[in-house]
Amino acid sequence: MNIQLRPAQLEVTAYRSGKMGVLAVPGSGKTLTLAYLAAELLTHTTLQRGQEILIVTLVNSAVDVFTQRIRALLEQRGLLPLNFRVRTLHGLAHDILRERPEVVGLDERFVILDEAECNRILESAVKSWLHQHGDQLLDYLDEALTPAEMRKIQRKDLPELVQEIASAFIRFAKDHRMPPGQLRTKLDQLPFPLPLLEMGASIYADYQRSLTYRGAVDFDDLVRLAYDALQWDTQLLERLRQRWPYILEDEAQDSSWTQEQILRVLVGESGNWVRVGDPNQAIYETFTTANPKYLRHFVHEAGVIQRHLPNSGRSTLSIMELANQLVRWTMTQHPIQAVRDGLQGPPFITPVPADDPHPNPPDDPAQIHLHPKKQTVEEEIKTIVHSLKRWLPAHPDWTVAVLAPTHDLAIKVVEALKKENLPFEDSLLRSSASTRRTAQRLRDILQALADPLSANKLATAYVAWRLEDYEDPLLRSQVISDKTLLQRCAQVETYLYPTYAEDWLAEICPPQGEESPAIPLAQQETYYRLARFRQQMHRWLDAILLPIDQLVLTLQGDLFAEPAELALSHKLALMLRQASDANPQWRLHNLAQELAVIAENERRFLGFSRDDNGFDPQAYAGRVVVCTAHKAKGLEWDRVYLISVNNYDYPSGAPYDTYKPERWFVRGRLNLQAEALAQFEWLIAPNETAFPQEGQATLQARLDYVRERLRLLYVGITRARRELVITSNTGRRGDKQPALAFVVLSEYWKKVHAQPAT
Amino acid sequence: MLTLTPQQLEMVQRPIGEHCFLEGKAGCGKTTTAVERLLFLMENGVPAHQILIYVPQRTLAQPYRQALAVPGVMAGGAVNILTLGGLARRTIETFWPLVVEQAGFGQPDEWPVFLTLETAQYFMAKLVEPLLAQGFFASVNVHPNRLYSQILDNLNKAALVGFPHTEIGERLKSAWSGSAGQLSIYDDAQTCANLFRSFCLEHNLLDFSLQVEVFVRYLWQNPLVQETLQQQYRHLIADNIEEDAPVSHDLLRQWLPAFESAWLIYDHGGGYRVFLGADPLSAYALKSACEVQVTFETSFVTDACLQRLEQTLLWTFGQPPPPPAAEAPAPPVIPLFERFYPQMLERVADEVTRCIQEDGIPPSEIVLLAPYLTDALRFSLSNLLEKRQIPLRSHRPSRALREEAVIRCLLTLAALAYPQYLPPKSFQDFDLMTALLQAIDDLDAVRACLLTNIVSRKNDGLPSLSSFEQIQADVQERLTYRVGERYERLRRWLEEARAAEPEELEIFFVRLFDEILSQPGYGFYHNERAAELTANLAESARKFRLAFRESMNVSLEERNREYLRMVQEGLIAAQYLRSWQAEQEDTVLISPAYTFLLSNRPVQVQFWLDIGSSGWYERLFQPLTQPYVLSRRWQAGRQWTADDEAQVAEQNLQRITLGLVRRCRQRIYLGYSEYSAGGYEQRGELLRVLQDSLEGFVQAI
């Protein structure tokens, strides 16, 4: 690995101590620069025994990428790859809590529940709240609702909405480190009732009780409790400061207040802290309590060295120009003054210097296609599929992605590609394909074991058992024919456990015997294959008496040989065991269902394959990668389709825009989540803020949403290396129009370049 | 007699009548010598029943038990092998009337009931559950079962260290350095401890803590009792005193002058039971009470190479570096480093096989050690070794009874006989299917499923079974008539039990086993494991029953329901000490590291699994209790800080690494995977220490 850093990068890697804030642009090599800086520090500073350089990043996949990069750099310098630790913030919080769990009321066996289990707990808390107090929300529903609409809403939409509000509420409470008991006391002191807060507090208390009963914490608790531990235990803090003399933080724009505080406390007044991020790419505000303002404030703090990484070799000049124009327009011309800070520069994106070994791709303004025309969702997808159909054969070695604002729309695109037999890759939407494949095999077999009477499930399990053969074009038909045979077995016991009187297998393909007439070879082979499967099923059916982890480990031994598969199935075994402990009423079919959720792509599960440890678009050249614009962060493709850029998915704050968080059935289209959180904020500091008037928070939330969506558009545009296509649609009800920013950009483009017809 | 060194032989043959303190590192032959001394005493006319072998826990007496088991050795009565708890209980049983009123028990005319860990937990749960609903322990995140055990643990600590149980809360509070908001949990813990103690006194119930307190504070202070004990036991061999608690040491100190002869044996570097109250320093203070003091220096276990490893380890922990070696020995340590956890297990299995097949090491001389022994780990390794035809046995920690399929089968059948005990809608057909599968011989899973689908009924939510005769003829044929006949007999038996008056569960389980399940044609016929587990279940139900006094006014129905609920909730553990010692010996052992250290048995080859884990040195973190703060050594008013924590981790690391190295004769394999079983990157301190000391091993030549 021969690395030639650019001048701006060299300025960053020359750092040796103090606090430094680095604002970077997309494609400027943040990760590489930070990894290089870590290697520099490990080479040029003397660490004491037990000291490490701590690198904190956002997601698990980045941990592996960082680790490998730093290792390679150190090995290149002839150094042992030691004395550094790469962690996500949650991983770091876990490390801190493990030091002294009892300081924050945990014992050594504390369990971290995954998202699915937390959602289940929350769902049941919401259900029971609605059951008891559901009528308290009636006041918030639109009076004009018909009885039929009302029934539907109470059955489906309302529980979903309450769960969303409760989830945000709990996260907010934890970010502000307010336990349910304290919240209750504050509420009891109020002279007037606040129904939304009452609802949130009650569900929060119930949710937290359930966690306590399991001796468990959720991810937000990890962060909150780690911060508490550092606050309360000064010696622990001192020891950790000693252990981590340098903290390097990547993706700092996505830190929440508590997350930033944890690092701030760990660094201390005179410590060494490097924060790298791009506030223009902060796109997690809606789901988390993150906010890019924290990083912006940091770089302007006294004593903080400010650096920029403005050079990017990723895209053509045209694409960079378009992205920069979006920033400039937002800063100076956005019709709503308040959101003009949504995107900011400098730094603006600048091409790499002329002598750079990785120059920008040659410019081709003709490959910027901006089509702000009115079309239905179906028409938009059709247009894109049609375009890809022409484009793919001409660019077999290029990479391409379709980026949708929502998961559902991305799935629709996948379906359309499937229909047209176009090659696609959807693992960024959920678990990686190989993770799914492993989960699916286990699921198919567990389902057969949970219901041994079913011939269909047995046949499916047979395919799972012979999956390698099924995937081999030469053997596939054989597997299918065996499967079909098994499906026809009317009484499964006559195959799996035959008696003298009835032996299904012997009847359909009798084995070669001394006295029987010659049996065709193919039939004999079928017999032996199915007899072997029968033996295998005997072994597995014997194992259904074992606890679930041991049952899965039994299957593991018989099915998998690849290290990554073995590791994944081991992890799945432990996960199922945890699920079974948390839900003692669950039996084999529920546990098989749990695997199905992973196998069928409804929940992301981190496996061990290459894609789980960092997606590499280059590996999918010639195939269409479909994912959400959010998941595309950090990645790049030669050609990018940015779809559904309308005033619903990318609103601009105009009076005719509509907003996802504002539900049609809620009175005055209030954003109840925002209203609840605003009241909560007031409750925490009643003297500093005025009591929020109803509707005020809804309007404020719109502005936040507009800002975030401008940044999402910016992220989408900057994923493209050479070619960019942006399209829009009229939404589900046909009343949406192209987003204002999109219209403005396309007019700008028309003015600057004469756009050829496509 | 074994071949002993002159020093050992001299020790064994010392005149009877001395009080002797024998110390040394693990592996220097202390226990071997003491065992020979025991035999020497008996050969020289000391009656066996006058000898007391006193150990901190039963497993540590294993070498003595083995020596005494040799035919012909035990003549003239039995040697007494006791722990503090055993001694306390035996004495209380004998002298109960002397102490019942003095100790404040509420029912002077009744005998005491000794609580097991489970029954103590049960009563604790009963008392604390209502308080939890009132907001007790709101700021801790711990499963209630573990809360109960921590409160009991505090009571035990108070008894073993010798301070009044009413001081628990204050002691913990004064050492607390975290947020003041957390302090209330210690008040809560104190309230619960007080409540439990009053309840026990009121009903003559003795949990472990009360047994020790009654013995130490009242019975031992009674001249009549003291005299009786002093006359009964004339010779003492107290081994591994470093693993015992301070009140045990107090007792020995007071008792010592009365013994005709006494040996106290102390292991340097021990103290593995600190979390159970062990106090090596108070043990060492007994040295001055003995007129003969001997130290064994030379290890019989480790060779020069392992001794060098021990020295470099000590050097890593801050001791002087080892002297330069003349030649370059290869380190007796073999790393097995892999990326993923299952790969590491596979490597371990391969190396175990190689050790046995190529190096001719007997399986019993190989031990696989892990910081925690999970079922998944044990199961995976046992599968891998089974494929290589290598038998594996385990010292596994206790686990919940309901984990066993046999127990689940019995519980399901009990639910059919007594559906009224079940929580509503809790009966599941999958449980019935697996119960029938186990109960009826020759019934396969497919037919068990078919049978279940047909015969399982729910009347008013209560489960019941319909008869085989009601099934259509063609389906009967599918199920086979033989199965039908067996099913029918089982069903009728359950029906009769259901119609009759409810009986004690232990009787129900035993009858079900005797009359049906152990008969030919049924699943537990000639099935030793099932018999053993049924016996465990019945025994645990019996102990549960015995814990209730009439004065508590609990009906049989209610008790049965409570018992089944406890088993379902996992509160009842299958921790009946089975005779693992008697199991086939020529097998590879897998064990948690601490359990192995406390079994006093060196081996040729050790495998340390998962050296990246922090479980090797982290103490047990429990928010309601703290072994160091509740120890005798803790200065009143001092705060427990992160530095103390770091120091303890370092001490543990030192204790465990040295302890293991000293119990190894040949070599150590280090199993490491970059990612743990759960997929997390692992960087424990043990890894660093080993890295440093291996560098030292090579450099210091």
Domain, as residue range, for B507: 401-568
Q: A686 to each of B152, B272, B293, how far by Cα in Å?
A: 44, 54, 73
Which of A91, A497, A573 is facing B446, going by the closest CB pair?
A: A497
pLDDT on residue B701: 46
Alpha helices in B616-668 (DSSP H): 642-662
Max Cα-Cα span within chain B: 87
**B666, B604 Cβ separation under 8 angstroms:** yes
Q: State the Cα–Cα distance between residues A700 and A678, nearest whole angstrom.
A: 10
- Residue carrying structure tokens 């628990």: B168
Q: Give the model's confidence band at A614: pLDDT under 50 very low, under 70 low, under 90 confident, else very high.
A: low
Q: Give the model's confidence band at A757: pLDDT under 50 very low, under 70 low, under 90 confident, else very high.
A: very low
Mind listing the pLDDT tens digit for each residue in B535-561? 989 998 999 999 988 778 889 999 999
For residue B603, the cross-strand partners are: B664
Q: How far is B558 from chain A (nearest CA, A)?
A: 23
What the block records as the tokens of A622 is 């010639």
Q: Which of A113, A32, A160 is nearest to A663 (CA)?
A: A160
How wide is the angle at C-alpha B143 spanned by C-alphas B141 and B147, nearest 5°? 90
Say yes or no: B122 and B64 in one domain: no
Q: Is A95 at the interface with chain B, CB within 8 A?
A: no
pLDDT on residue A286: 64
Q: State the Cα–Cα distance between residues B597 and B606, nearest whole angstrom.
A: 12
Boundary of a domain, candidates B568, B603, B633: B568
> What average pLDDT does range A724-732 have in this prediction?
94
Stronger pLDDT, B517 or A47, i.e. the higher one:
B517
Q: State the Cα–Cα distance between residues A82 and B537, nearest whole angstrom.
A: 52
Stronger pLDDT, A409 or B70, i.e. the higher one:
A409
Q: If you average pLDDT over every residue of chain B, what do you get?
A: 90
Say yes or no: B439 and B562 in one domain: yes
Stronger pLDDT, A603 or A154, i.e. the higher one:
A154
Q: State the Cα–Cα distance between residues A572 and A552, nearest whole angstrom.
A: 8
Q: State the Cα–Cα distance between residues B396 and B394, nearest whole angstrom.
A: 5
Stronger pLDDT, A308 or A633, i.e. the higher one:
A308
Q: State the Cα–Cα distance between residues A244 and A226, nearest whole angstrom.
A: 16
> What average pLDDT does range A392-404 have in this prediction?
96
What's the CA dihedral at B692, B693, B698, B700 to 10 degrees?
100
Mind listing the pLDDT tens digit for each residue in A637-685? 999 999 999 999 999 988 888 888 899 999 999 999 999 999 999 998 8
Say yes or no: B405 and B553 in one domain: yes
Asked if residue A40 has pLDDT above 90, the reply is yes
Tell me whether residues A63 and B480 touch, CB distance under 8 A: no
Q: State the Cα–Cα distance between residues A735 and A376, nearest whole angstrom.
A: 10
Say yes or no: B413 and B510 in one domain: yes
Locate the chain A residue with the closest alpha carbon to B339. Answer: A563
Q: Which of A278, A118, A125, A291 is nearest to A199 (CA)?
A: A125
For residue B669, the cross-strand partners are: B334, B607
What ipTM goes with this model?
0.84
Q: State the Cα–Cα distance between residues B155 and B207, nearest whole angstrom.
A: 9
Helix (H, G, I), strand (E, B) or coil at A638: strand
Tell me whether residues A108 and B642 touch, CB distance under 8 A: no
Helix (H, G, I), strand (E, B) or coil at A87: strand
Poorest-pLDDT segment among A127-141, B67-81, B412-426:
B67-81
> What average pLDDT does range B391-399 have in this prediction?
75
Tell me whether residues B449 and A451 touch, CB distance under 8 A: yes
Q: Give the model's confidence band at A47: pLDDT under 50 very low, under 70 low, under 90 confident, else very high.
A: confident
pLDDT on residue B398: 65
**B580, B437 Cβ separation under 8 angstroms:** no
CB atoms within 10 A of CB B578: 11
Say yes or no: B264 and B180 in one domain: no
Q: Does a structural domain hold residue B323?
A: no
Q: Please report, for the domain that includes residue B654, its CATH number.
A: 3.40.50.300
Q: Does a structural domain hold residue B317?
A: no
What's the CATH architecture for A365-428+624-752?
A: 3-Layer(aba) Sandwich (3.40)
Stronger pLDDT, A435 or B560, i.e. the higher one:
B560
Mind listing the pLDDT tens digit for each residue in A73-101? 888 887 777 789 998 888 899 889 888 88
Cβ contacts of B340 on chain A, cutoff 8 Å? 563-564, 566-567, 570, 608
Q: State the Cα–Cα distance between residues B348 and B329, nearest whole angstrom.
A: 24
Q: State the Cα–Cα distance between residues A275 and A252, nearest whole angstrom.
A: 6
Locate the chain A residue with the closest alpha carbon to B689. Answer: A50
DSSP B70: S
Number of domains, chain B: 4
Q: State the Cα–Cα distance between residues B18 and B550, nearest whole angstrom.
A: 51
Q: State the Cα–Cα distance between residues B35 and B33, nearest whole angstrom.
A: 5
Say yes or no: B412 and B535 in one domain: yes
Boundary of a domain, candidates B500, B534, B568: B568
Contacts of A547 (CB under 8 A, 6+ apart): A577, A580, B375, B403
> What average pLDDT does range A687-715 have in this prediction?
90
Q: A35 to each of A46, A681, B37, how far by Cα in Å?
A: 18, 39, 65
Q: Does a structural domain hold residue B560?
A: yes
Q: Does a structural domain hold residue B421?
A: yes
Q: Where are the domains of chain A?
A: 7-100+222-311, 114-213, 365-428+624-752, 433-612
pLDDT on residue B578: 47
Cβ contacts of B444 on chain A, cutoff 8 Å? 493, 496-497, 541
Mind listing the pLDDT tens digit for each residue in B289-332? 999 999 999 888 888 888 888 988 988 888 888 777 766 667 88
**A567, B675 Cβ separation under 8 angstroms:** yes
Q: Does a structural domain hold residue B291?
A: yes
DSSP A256: B
Q: State the Cα–Cα distance between residues B549 and B542, nearest whole angstrom.
A: 13
Say yes or no: B406 and B390 in one domain: no
Stronger pLDDT, A24 or A98, i.e. the higher one:
A24
CB atoms within 10 A of CB B666: 19
- Residue carrying structure tokens 């559906």: B419
Asked if residue B30 has pLDDT above 50, the reply is yes
Q: Does a structural domain hold residue B227?
A: no
> Checking phi first, is residue A166 left (phi over 0); if not, alpha (psi -120 to 50) or beta?
alpha
**A629, A714 Cβ separation under 8 angstroms:** no
At the top level of CATH, which class does the domain A7-100+222-311 belong to?
alpha beta
Count of CA atoms in the C-beta half-sphere (13 A) of B639: 12
Tell me whether residues A110 and B622 touch, CB distance under 8 A: no
Cβ contacts of B405 on chain A, cutoff 8 Å? 545-546
Say yes or no: B563 and B447 in one domain: yes
Mind listing the pLDDT tens digit for each residue in B442-491? 999 999 999 999 999 988 878 999 999 999 999 999 999 999 999 999 99
Q: Does a structural domain hold residue B327?
A: no
Q: Is A91 at the interface with chain B, CB within 8 A?
A: yes
Query: What share of chain A has pLDDT > 90, as a percent?
Result: 59
Cβ contacts of A570 on chain B, cutoff 8 Å? 340-342, 376, 380, 677
Say yes or no: B50 and B173 in one domain: no
Within the 572-601 window of chain A, which residues sit less than 8 Å (CB to CB) from chain B? 573-574, 577, 584-585, 587-589
Q: How far is B111 from chain A (nearest CA, A)?
A: 37
The pTM of this model reads: 0.80
pLDDT on residue A135: 87
Q: Give the model's confidence band at A434: pLDDT under 50 very low, under 70 low, under 90 confident, else very high.
A: confident
Poorest-pLDDT segment among A468-477, A688-697, B492-501:
A688-697
**B206, B92 Cβ separation under 8 angstroms:** yes
Q: State the Cα–Cα distance between residues B256 and B233, nearest whole angstrom.
A: 11
Asked if residue B581 has pLDDT above 50, the reply is no
Q: State the Cα–Cα distance between residues A378 and A714, nearest whole angstrom.
A: 25
Say yes or no: B199 and B242 in one domain: no
User: φ and ψ at A88, to 5 degrees?
Assistant: -80, 165
Whether the domain at A7-100+222-311 and the domain at A365-428+624-752 fall into the same CATH topology: yes
Tell me whether residues B140 and A213 touch, CB distance under 8 A: no
What the block records as the tokens of A113 is 């529940």
Within the 383-422 window of chain B, which residues sit less than 8 Å (CB to CB) from chain A? 383-384, 403, 405
Say yes or no: B636 and B658 in one domain: yes
Environment class of B362 (CB within 10 Å of its CB; exposed 0-12, middle 13-18, buried 19+): middle
Q: Which of A561, A607, A577, A551 is nearest to A439 (CA)?
A: A607
Q: Does a structural domain hold residue B226?
A: no
pLDDT on residue B580: 41
Contacts of B303 (CB under 8 A, 6+ apart): B332, B665, B666
Which of B342, B445, B618 is facing A570, going by the closest CB pair?
A: B342
> What average pLDDT does range A348-366 have in this prediction?
93
Cβ contacts of B376 on chain A, cutoff 8 Å? 549-550, 553, 570, 573-574, 577
Tell me whether residues A587 and B430 touch, CB distance under 8 A: yes
Estimate to the nearest angstrom the gap between the alpha carbon of B398 and the chain centroid. 7
Say yes or no: B600 and B588 in one domain: yes
Query: What interhelical angle do A195-213 and A115-133 show, nearest 10?
Result: 130
